[in-house]
Structure 1
Amino acid sequence: MASSFAPSFLHLHLLFLICAVSLSPTSAAYSESRSSSNKVRVELYYETLCPDSYQFIVNDLIKLFETGIISVADLKLYPYGNARVGSNSTITCQHGPSECLLNTVEACAIEIWPALNDHFPFIYCVESLVYEHKYPQWESCYEKLGLDSKPIAECYSSGLGKELELQYAAETSALQPPHQYVPWVVVDGQPLYEDYENFLSYVCNAYNGTTALEACSKISLNTRKISKSTHSLGCEGNMPAVLGRIGSTIKSWIRQMNLAIWM
């Protein structure tokens, strides 16, 4: 699953990939002439300091750009994850204040630079630094990418960033079925559960446009059956759901034991 290239160089590689896709005459993601109805909607619900989240962004989500499949995908990011809204609309993040800061910064980036090819390189750069355990250096991404830091600083200090996070909180809470952990990947409205690393296959299966994608022909389209059970994840957020799964497992085991006794 691990990427074959060092994350410290990925922001430059990503910029090249995005530019190549956006300038391509066959690009659907950045062409105004293409109907958005043909795009496959890909939604990522995540939190910035969750190991499963930043590893997915750095090692897996990048493949949307590497393969060119981004040309038929509509990628939307929700940097909120397992945070909680308390009294007076205070937000508490699973991995502490630093995660709240970076969640808000990335929400501001999406708001200030709404085009994917504008905000994703910045988010990717930040998450690459998190991946390298250098997230206190996140502001270096402005210089690396030639971006003006003022709009993000103003978004954060004015309270707009918090408003955006409260909006993401509402959208995350409204998920049906509810998210159980992060990263929570949804393709055309269907959550992928623990098979999220195989998301490219689901995108290729869901695509019904006329543009033939060589990348999809190289990907196994025999996607595994989506399962509602989960593997061990470090960023689970819905404890009732977790306890429910544990309870179901225990009840199943008891039934099996009872059957074994009477056989």
Structure 2
Amino acid sequence: MKVTLVLLLLLPAFPAAQDAAKVNVRVYYESMCPDSRHFFLEQLYPVWSNLSDILNLTLVAYGKAKTMEVPGVGDYRFRCQHGGRECKGNILLTCATHHIPDQCQAVDFARCIMEKVKGAAAGPQCAEETGVDYSAIENCLDSPEGRKRQYEAGLNQNEYASDLDYVPWIIINDVFSRELLWKAQSDLKGVICTAFQGTKPVYCEL
């Protein structure tokens, strides 16, 4: 009886965030895009840091890029809205998504890349600052693997955001709403907290 009572007393100390389905958030962005950078640093990262327990987050660094297949060799080249440095930064972020097993650490690494505004050149520094093993990411960056993964990022975007005409492109619970896209730019926390159907985390009330 005493053990049961102790467990009951402890229950309120645990988050109530698991009493409903998580909110699915897809973000299509670009490594050198000012609007992507502002959204990532001012909205996405703070919200992720406080509400990751109720989020299924998918980050895809592609945006308004174009993929060109190299005939006969199964390789790819890319053209990006903000030039070649953005293409390389996008590949870096894509490689990081695949080679950093802990998602919280992967999002932190991406946050650092967006913050430095140096694209792939910030990779080693951000790996050091976030405690990431950079070797696999570095090997991926300038390799057929990296280009294949970036090609696949484009396929993902074509599947879920084929009508993308703005970056960052934000999809909540797998249904795109232009109204939510604009609202998320300034109040992602409000969008997520409204979409979550369970007991609201304390951060939602702040």
TM-score category of the 2 structures, normalised to the smaller one: 0.7 to 0.9
In the aligned structure 2, how far is the partner of 1:97 from the partner of 1:134?
10
Name which of 146, 151, 163 aligns with 1:161: 146
Letter in 1 for 2:30: E
Number of matched pairs: 185
* Cα distance, 1:160–1:73 mapped onto 2, change above 3 Å: same
Q: TM-score, normalised by structure 1?
A: 0.64
Of the two, which has the highest radius of gyration? 1
1:214 aligns with 202
| 4+ runs deviating over 6 angstroms | none
TM-align CA RMSD: 2.3
2:38 is equivalent to residue 51 of structure 1: no
1:60 aligns with 43
In the aligned structure 1, how far is the partner of 2:151 from the partner of 2:157?
10
2:59 is equivalent to residue 72 of structure 1: no
2:90 is equivalent to residue 103 of structure 1: yes
Q: Offset of 1:27 from its aligned partner?
A: 7.8
Gaps of 5+ in 1: 1-23, 29-33, 219-263
Partner secondary structure for residue 31 of structure 2: coil
Letter in 1 for 2:90: N
2:189 aligns with 200
Name which of 79, 83, 98 aligns with 1:92: 79
Name which of 98, 103, 106 aligns with 1:119: 106
Partner secondary structure for residue 86 of structure 1: strand
Q: Offset of 1:155 from its aligned partner?
A: 1.5
Gaps of 5+ in 2: 1-12, 71-75
Contact 1:40/1:206, CA 8 A, preserved across alignment: yes
Letter in 1 for 2:143: S
* Cα distance, 1:99–1:39 mapped onto 2, change above 3 Å: same
Partner secondary structure for residue 76 of structure 1: strand
Q: Offset of 1:70 from its aligned partner?
A: 2.1
Partner secondary structure for residue 153 of structure 1: helix
Higher-RCO chain (CA-CA 8 Å, sequence separation at least 6)? 2
Q: Offset of 1:143 from its aligned partner?
A: 1.9
Contact 2:47/2:189, CA 8 A, preserved across alignment: yes
In the aligned structure 1, how far is the partner of 2:83 from the partner of 2:121?
14
Identify, as 1 or 2, the structure richer in strand.
2
Partner secondary structure for residue 108 of structure 2: helix
Q: Offset of 1:94 from its aligned partner?
A: 1.1
In the aligned structure 2, how far is the partner of 1:106 from the partner of 1:116?
13
* Cα distance, 1:171–1:65 mapped onto 2, change above 3 Å: closer
Letter in 2 for 1:115: D
Q: TM-score, normalised by structure 2?
A: 0.80
1:81 aligns with 63
Q: Offset of 1:57 from its aligned partner?
A: 0.6
Name which of 8, 26, 32 aligns with 2:15: 26
